[in-house]
Structure 1
Amino acid sequence: MFESAEIGHKIDKDTYKKAVPELRAALLDAQFDLKENGKIPVVMLVSGQDGAGKGETINILYEWMDPRFISTLAFSAPSDEERTRPFMWRYWRALPPKGRVGVFAGSWYSSPIHDRLDGGMSKAAMDARIDQINRFEAMLVNEGALVLKFWFHLTKDGQKRRLKSLEKDPKTAWRVTKWNWERLKSYDKMQDVVGHVLRMTNTAWAPWIIVEGEDDRYRSLTTGKILLEAIRQRLDNPAIHTTPVAPPIRVNIDGRNVLSELNLNRTITEKDYDNQLAQWQGKLSELVRDPRFKGRSLVCAFEGADAAGKGGAIRRIAASMDARDYQIVPIAAPTEEERAQPYMWRFWRHIPRNGRVAIFDRTWYGRVLVERVEGYCAEADWLRAYSEINDFEHDLSEAGIIVCKFWLQVSQEEQLKRFKEREKIQFKRFKITEEDWRNREKWDAYQQAICDMVDRTSTGSAPWTLVEANDKNYARVKIMRTICQRLEAELEGKPVPTEKDDEKKADKEPKDKKDKKKGKKEPEGRKEVKAEVKAVVRPEAKPKVSRVPPRPARPRAPAAAAAAAKTVKPTKGKTAT
């Protein structure tokens, strides 16, 4: 791959001086046309050997172009904050908006190359990272970005000459360190690693552009001309070359699906609700304060039918935690800033750091739900979104983030009842809009979209939990229980209980401390005297004879004695418990 960059390319001074003015004017024109077009972001990666002129070339581009519409994003070792996020998080946040050029000095390639060279990354791990990078770049291109990847190459002798030249000049000597000379000794090994990475990421949608870096004038002029030509070609041919997608194929012979199988009649009594909600809220509070959670984070994603009770469930979760430890992220129509970025950008920016919780009130699934049904995006966009969402959630999981996803389902009858209630109750009127009524008319289309969403995105690392939400209290308890069980299993490294396992366990265990025989709740006041009852009441047992004189009984409080006398009524053949 490097042969054409090892033949000694050079540009003489006169040729360079004549070419630069025309190139500068053309680049400025292209830059303004790009800004006016407002649909194409340019992602430009500048990578290469040490001493190959990466920084010098970026400085030249700043001289030639309008600095208002070009940004340089420099990346070195990740900060403490960046280390607590997924690998791609800091690059997502730095993406240029549409109409601008973003120059990446150091990129998502730097870390895997250097880690592999230093022995900190296995070949299998590096190949997994390469696969992640390819999927990321494909997503950028599918979203309309122009991705240009430059690699400035030097031969081993050429790199040695460049380092000596830079070291001799007092103005540039600071650029050369002992580390650069040590790295030169590993040149051959470096070439093996770089060659493998470039070969595996030299895709049709984002190919590598290898430029010989020893001659400053040749390198700068070549880079500028390629950048100009790429922008012009894209402006003249605005069609986005997207990844082909297969059309949806649906076969449903018996009319059953994951939603039709839900039992929406599930309920819970008020007493059980109060007790179980308090139990799981206490458990969640304990889990998020567990020292082991300091190295993890939690993302709770809520989707559901209109008026299904998402807000109420979210408030019960939030009540379990310190307000400093969580963030509720409401998702509505994208802003102008968000529309200028790839679809997933606005969700990446809210990923929590270690020890924190992010609760999304509606999520990245809007593309395969409302945007699909309402026609806000092309069919190719929402079909492609399934794999992009799976990639996103996989990246979160790989970084130690626990992802809990909930779909709250209600019947059409229950939804209508809640809509009418919202119209009547003054403080709930803000919750009902004309859009909610329009969405009801497309109930069947939304149900199909939901089933497709679950089928395509319920993965082992980020499974969907379908919640029967006709009874809000039942739904809230189920959500709290699911989060706690998932979080506890992750922290302890145990398998996560399935919903069927949980239902079987719930059926076997008495609720609310029921009486074993009668299945009734404990009468009021029994808790206070239970210990005394166990110690004192043994109606069927024969008294034991002791040779030791009995100790005088301790005086009891009048209230406790009266309660015990009133509560404990031994019956024939039974022992009071």
Structure 2
Amino acid sequence: MFRTAELNHTLSKEEYAAREQDLRQELLTLQGELREADFPVILVFAGVDGAGKSETVNKLNEWLDTRLLYTRAFDQPSDEEQERPLFWRYWRELPPRGRVGMYLSSWYSPPLLDHVYGKITAEEFDERMSRIRVFEEALAADGALIIKFWMHLSESAQEHRLKKLEKDPLQKWRVTARDWEHWRMYDRFVAAAERTLMHTGTGTAPWKIIEGSDPRYRSIAVATILRDGIRRRLAERRLLHSAVDQADSDTLQAMVESSALPGQPTILSALDLGKALPKKDYAERLLTLQGRLNKLQRKAREKGVSSILVFEGWDAAGKGGAIRRITSAMDARNYQVVQIAKPTDEEAARHYLWRFWRHMSRAGRMTIFDRSWYGRVLVERVEGFARPQEWRRAYGEINDFEEHLAEHGIVLLKFWLHISRDEQEKRFRNRESTPWKAWKLTDEDWRNRERWGDYELAVNDMVEHTSTRLAPWVLVEAEDKYYARAKVLESVCEHLARALK
């Protein structure tokens, strides 16, 4: 696999100088065009020690407009990072659309080193490569241009490079005992590298193998690949937008397609909305459940067990009321409530899951989402804010996201609060006539009622595709607020107690 990167490619000073000037200007021009584009560029640099990864990144920082560059290098995870799911630190450092992100010691380094040092089996290594592939496919499907460079040296070339650096008083600091240890494990590194490239080199996130022995050659080679990649993607996006502009406006709507036909029973229509809890019984039940939740949450804080609660449901179904009954039972330092509305400019410039990854709390805390990532397959689907191919693939992306959370030991619970259309109208009218509640009611709330059937079918699909053993949906009959609040509290306590065992 690496034979083509062991041919001693070189570039003379004269040829380098002749190509450098034009290449730098072309890159700067493309960077200006990229600034207005709807996709980011993600460059991953990996390879053998001494092959010029850092030097190449430094060269690109020298050539390009650094105001539009993100350069990140990941070391051993900090305590803050270890308390969150593994990919949290990678998601939060993604560049926005129109920018270039360059990554050293990226998401490939930990599994590669673990495999070389025998800390994980080949099967475990393949599984971690599969998780990386899914991660990159999600970014690529969202439009990201991903180019991965494997900087390579032959075993003899690596030895020569390390010795040369050691002899230079100004450069010897670059060589460490770890570098020589890795050189002695050269064959194992190359074997792991081949396995990495075979598992994760895809059409949407390809690997480019670069011979790293000559700094002039590798700089020009990387810059040329980058130039051609951005130029090609810009042209593709222009064609795509042109095709969309010419399409019938009906095709721009996220069509509601479901296995459930209009008028047929859905998972929501099967719920018994007659379930109720008398006020007197509710008051006693509430105090009992809140007391239990307080003890469980304090124990979770001590053990470092985090929780994520997701609340979805019809407008006026009682999400806020249920959340307040949870938070009033806990120390305010141990939870955060995240209200999800229309994405900000910063959030809209990235993959839709980015804003949810960044809200992951530290160990032992509870994070409560009032609306969530399920907006992708609900409001964005029904209202046409997401194209059909976008919300359809979101089911898989969401399941993968939630699997990351569950594997980290997070207690993940998702609630859908269900009421009838008549009950919703009743609650809307009550809000209209109550001064301190009127702010909750908007024209959009009334408008959404007109598409009740479309939303119900979307919810049916959502539950069908994303209610998993690791991340189940709890469907709450919320016609009676007392019953709904008690059921939510009871579910939280049960799942938290089970996790703490």
1:252-285: CA deviation from partner (whole Å, max 9, x where unpaired): 5993221111110111111111111111111111
User: 2:432 matched to which residue of 1?
Assistant: 423
Matched, 1:396 2:405: yes
Task: Pick from 453, 462, 466 the counterpart of residue 462 of structure 2.
Answer: 453
Residues 247, 448 of structure 1: alpha-carbon distance in 2 compared, 3 angstrom cutoff: closer
Give the C-alpha shift of residue 182 in structure 1.
Answer: 1.1
1:323-356: CA deviation from partner (whole Å, max 9, x where unpaired): 0110000000001001100010000000111111
- Write the distance in 2 (CA, Å) between the matches of 1:368 and 1:7: 51
User: 2:226 matched to which residue of 1?
Assistant: 227
User: 1:16 matched to which residue of 2?
Assistant: 16
Residues 251, 432 of structure 1: alpha-carbon distance in 2 compared, 3 angstrom cutoff: closer
- Write the distance in 1 (CA, Å) between the matches of 2:118 and 2:302: 29
1:514-555: CA deviation from partner (whole Å, max 9, x where unpaired): xxxxxxxxxxxxxxxxxxxxxxxxxxxxxxxxxxxxxxxxxx
Task: Pick from 339, 350, 361 the counterpart of residue 330 of structure 1.
Answer: 339
User: 1:298 matched to which residue of 2?
Assistant: 307
User: 2:419 matched to which residue of 1?
Assistant: 410
Q: TM-score, normalised by structure 1?
A: 0.83
User: 1:104 matched to which residue of 2?
Assistant: 103
5 Å matches for 1:75-90?
75-90=74-89
Matched, 1:277 2:276: no
Structure 2's unaligned 5+ residue stretches are 242-254
Give the C-alpha shift of residue 313 in structure 1.
Answer: 0.4
Equivalent pair of 2:300/2:306 in contact (CA under 8 Å)? no
Equivalent pair of 1:407/1:465 in contact (CA under 8 Å)? yes
Matched, 1:213 2:222: no
Matched, 1:202 2:201: yes
Which secondary structure does the structure 2 equivalent of 1:50 belong to? coil
Residues 327, 189 of structure 1: alpha-carbon distance in 2 compared, 3 angstrom cutoff: same
1:387-427: CA deviation from partner (whole Å, max 9, x where unpaired): 11001000100111110100000011110100000000000
Aligned length: 488
Equivalent pair of 2:256/2:454 in contact (CA under 8 Å)? no
Give the C-alpha shift of residue 148 in structure 1.
Answer: 0.7
Regions of 4+ moved over 4 Å: 246-249, 251-254
5 Å matches for 1:118-517?
118-238=117-237, 248=257, 250=259, 255-290=264-299, 294-492=303-501
Matched, 1:30 2:39: no
Equivalent pair of 1:141/1:240 in contact (CA under 8 Å)? no
1:124-167: CA deviation from partner (whole Å, max 9, x where unpaired): 22111111111111111111110010000011111100100111
Give the C-alpha shift of residue 295 in structure 1.
Answer: 2.6
Larger mean CA deviation between 420-429 and 258-267 belongs to 258-267
Higher relative contact order (CA 8 A, sep 6+): 2
Q: CA RMSD in A?
A: 1.7
- Write the distance in 1 (CA, Å) between the matches of 2:327 and 2:357: 21
Which secondary structure does the structure 1 equivalent of 2:436 belong to? helix
Residues 248, 7 of structure 1: alpha-carbon distance in 2 compared, 3 angstrom cutoff: farther
Identity %: 50
Which secondary structure does the structure 1 equivalent of 2:36 belong to? helix
Residues 257, 263 of structure 1: alpha-carbon distance in 2 compared, 3 angstrom cutoff: same
Residues 330, 249 of structure 1: alpha-carbon distance in 2 compared, 3 angstrom cutoff: closer
- Write the distance in 1 (CA, Å) between the matches of 2:142 and 2:118: 35
User: 1:3 matched to which residue of 2?
Assistant: 3
- Write the distance in 1 (CA, Å) between the matches of 2:180 and 2:240: 44
Larger mean CA deviation between 129-138 and 324-333 belongs to 129-138
Larger radius of gyration: 1
Whichever residue aligns with residue 113 of structure 2, its letter is H
- Write the distance in 2 (CA, Å) between the matches of 1:300 and 1:250: 28
- Write the distance in 1 (CA, Å) between the matches of 2:208 and 2:256: 34
5 Å matches for 1:49-60?
49-60=48-59
User: 2:250 matched to which residue of 1?
Assistant: none
Whichever residue aligns with residue 13 of structure 1, its letter is K
- Write the distance in 1 (CA, Å) between the matches of 2:264 and 2:225: 56
Residues 292, 33 of structure 1: alpha-carbon distance in 2 compared, 3 angstrom cutoff: closer
Equivalent pair of 1:293/1:491 in contact (CA under 8 Å)? no
Give the C-alpha shift of residue 7 in structure 1.
Answer: 1.0
Equivalent pair of 1:422/1:428 in contact (CA under 8 Å)? yes
Give the C-alpha shift of residue 36 in structure 1.
Answer: 2.6
Equivalent pair of 1:42/1:147 in contact (CA under 8 Å)? yes
User: 1:548 matched to which residue of 2?
Assistant: none
